A and B are shown apart, each in its own frame.
Chain A
């Protein structure tokens, strides 16, 4: 029997926020969502667009998946059956349709944004960082409010790493530094930044 956490947050929200943004950063510490990280950080404009889209989708899918898990899939739900083994496929279904909805809305109301994001929007549906957020929300047993905060902070964490790396890689590409030119260099750079973040935040106890 899974205990359903309450709607209003009872946890201390500050550690959750800092955890998602820095100490357990999705890109640098957990190494989730690396496809878009390596693919899009060569240009700060595209990484900015992707960061905004991912943050938005993360928050919205956290808002949608939490009630579905606790009110439809868990054995404390209305069906009184333990269907939690269906959570991955259900979450993917929700995330994918939500991304599709976002695409419809953007195409209708902002064609320029749609054109610049075009290829990356569908990519979010298969972004493991988004699925990681909603699965971690369940695994950690967060309340509804805390799970939304967690997802939003995870999106912000994704954004700052994307933008920081894009800034560095853009300069390095311009200077023709061979070591950092390809994907190998991108992973090398990511490891270096991750080491810095790990050692810095291992000093801070939360």
Chain B
């Protein structure tokens, strides 16, 4: 028996070895014949990229972004997903100084949620988009947040969730400010804002003042008190809702104090 096995050894080794060599030869030939030129600098940069393919830089993915950075079309700080440490490493690699931009976070321009009345109980498909198709939205305010979480599903960093008050809540630690949620929101009640300072009218309702007062505790009724009191003249009324011009705003906070509806907040 042992002799039988021993006699099988040479042909076994020969066959396996020959097969292995043949396959290796084929792969060596194939790797040369189908060789794809790639810039080593792009590969090295790609290693450092977050790899989330979020699209905040304006290119479809991190690989495209890396290619364009090396080609000089765009500066690396266009990436919102890299943290300061990554920027330092990228700067070292490319031989340039990169300072990370001030972090930006999405905010919800709506204080409705559970404060806003429902028109009916909605039991359809669990997305905001589907809910809109059914005669507007389930909320009494047709401009407000629906709260079915299209933004949550759009987020690649698990940085947004629907809180108990029925509104999106940003987990700042995870958020990279890529704006995927802003694009995904069918009601357009999300916007990207700087982390500290800016003042926003957190209401998007263009409904009549009486109706807004009826359905929502915090809705802007377009009374214009903030406009009259603003020392900079930075507030305008656009279709019954106050809008703050972020260029002119000095963040003094006068409007926050005078608003009778508590619809203006400072971040």
What residues make up the interface of A, taking CB atoms closer than 8 Å to B? 68, 72-73, 79, 81-83, 86, 89-90, 93-94, 97, 100-101, 104-105, 107-108, 115, 174-176
Contact = CB atoms under 8 A, between A and B. Distances in A.
B30 A104 contact: yes
Contact of B23 (A72, A79, A93): A93
B221 to A, nearest CB: 36
A97 B23 CA distance: 6
B16 to A, nearest CB: 6
Interface in B75-120: none
5 contacts: A81-B11, A94-B19, A97-B24, A105-B34, A108-B36
Contacts of A104: 27, 30-31, 33-34
B12 A107 contact: no
A107 B11 contact: no
B27 A73 contact: no
A113 to B, nearest CB: 14
Tell me whether chain A's interface is mostly helix, strand or loop, or mixed.
Answer: helix
Nearest to B130: A174
Given A93-B16, A93-B19, A101-B27, 4 more contacts: A81-B11, A97-B24, A100-B30, A175-B125
Contacts of A176: 126
A97 B15 contact: no
B23 A94 contact: yes
Interface in B150-209: none
B15 A101 contact: no
Contact of A174 (B23, B24, B126): B126
